[in-house]
Amino acid sequence: MLPYEITVSEVKTRLDRGDSLVLLDVREPWETATSSIAGALCIPMGELPARANNELDPDSEIVVFCHLGMRSLNVTAWLREQGYDHVQSMAGGIDRWTREIDPKVPLY
């Protein structure tokens, strides 16, 4: 089974090489309006139980992210309990993404 966390540099490498990843943003709408990663699917953490089965494929490789990485780690654990075996949390969240990968994404 995959480790629970993946680094931002690993995510960037995989995206650059064309791997099929679902970037799942579990932050609140005001947060995604403030800063976002292009192409991410936005489902706030509180809405995930109602929306996961309709909007996520359990066979897809899913990278969950939030602001700093705590919510995404909790969502990763929950999704794995639901049978999503190919899900990982992006360590450090969008904050680390901005600091290490794309400084154009606003910090907040």
Helix (H) or strand (E) holding 89: strand 87-90
pLDDT at 1: 77
Chain mean pLDDT for the chain: 97
Residue of 66, 75, 79, 94 marked active site: 66
The set of residues, in sequence order, having a beta carbon less than 8 Å from that of 59 and lying 6+ positions away, is 86
Contacts within 8 Å (CB) and 24+ apart, 27-33: 27/65, 27/66, 27/67, 27/71, 27/94, 31/67, 31/108
User: Is 42 part of the annotated catalytic residue set?
Assistant: no
pLDDT tens track for 67-87: 999 999 999 999 999 999 999
CATH of domain 5-100: 3.40.250.10
Question: How far is 36 from 59, CA to CA, in rounded Å?
Answer: 24
pLDDT tens track for 23-37: 999 999 999 999 999
DSSP string, 42-88: E--GGGHHHHHHHH--TTSEEEEE-SSSHHHHHHHHHHHHTT--SEE
SS3 15: helix
pLDDT at 8: 98
Tokens for 67?
Answer: 């602001």
pLDDT tens track for 45-62: 999 999 999 999 999 999
